[in-house]
Amino acid sequence: MAAYQTIAEVAEAEIVEKKSRFIGRIAPVADEEEALAFIAEVKAAHRMARHNVYAYVLRGGRIRYTDDGEPAKTAGMPTLEAIQHAGLEDVAVVVTRYFGGILLGTGGLVRAYTDATKAAIEAARIVVVSRCVDVMTEVPYNLYEPVCRIAEACGARLQESDFAENVLLTFCMLDGTQALFLEKLTELTRGQSEIIVTDPFDAAF
């Protein structure tokens, strides 16, 4: 799996354009079902709003957007393009508009929906999701620091350390990069420590 960019959690930002409020809300979504549930949740929270425009981009090229009553291509498309321009996948954005009484024109609408989406993206924490594995081993206390040094040199990140009779360590690293770490770990522990490598999984790394 190729690495991709998404966001860590829901984020929100608001802009005002000629008295109209545009509230951009972005969420990480794993599939269409999650995207539609998020959109429904925002719509329910903003029932009194004039428009709840949305767009989402899922891995594999699945995209969808709606203008929700705004003139064609002035709302959903700019929202979608702002997501794509940021290079994000597996995200959904809803831009809620509370009409301020002044018409914005097509150019003004495109700009406002683009800016509201960008503001929401800027408020979010962007993460890179990659194919990873966890490497777990148990070592005596005197090997704790040497193991951590080797791990760092091999690009592994310490996820968990449990100090009991020995030290139980869990490291996360990119799948496909673990061979050197396993070799050095075996060498350091002289093959005395069991090393467990999990099946690959997707995680922010």
Summarize the chain as % helix, strand, coil (round to 5): 35, 40, 30
- More reliable by pLDDT, 2 or 118: 118
Q: Average pLDDT of 17-25?
A: 96
Q: How many residues are there in the chain?
A: 205
Whether 82 and 37 map to the same domain: the answer is yes
- Does pTM surpass 0.85? no
pLDDT tens digit string along 123-146?
999 999 999 999 999 999 999 999
pLDDT at 205 over 90: no
What phi and psi values does residue 35 have, to the nearest 5 degrees? -60, -45
Q: State pLDDT tens for residues 49-100.
A: 999 999 999 998 899 999 999 999 999 999 999 999 999 999 999 999 999 9
Give the domain range for residue 168. 128-204
Mean pLDDT of the chain: 95
End-of-domain residue from the set 87, 102, 124: 124
Q: Is the pLDDT of residue 1 over 70?
A: no
Number of domains in the chain: 2
Q: Do both 49 and 109 map to the same domain?
A: yes
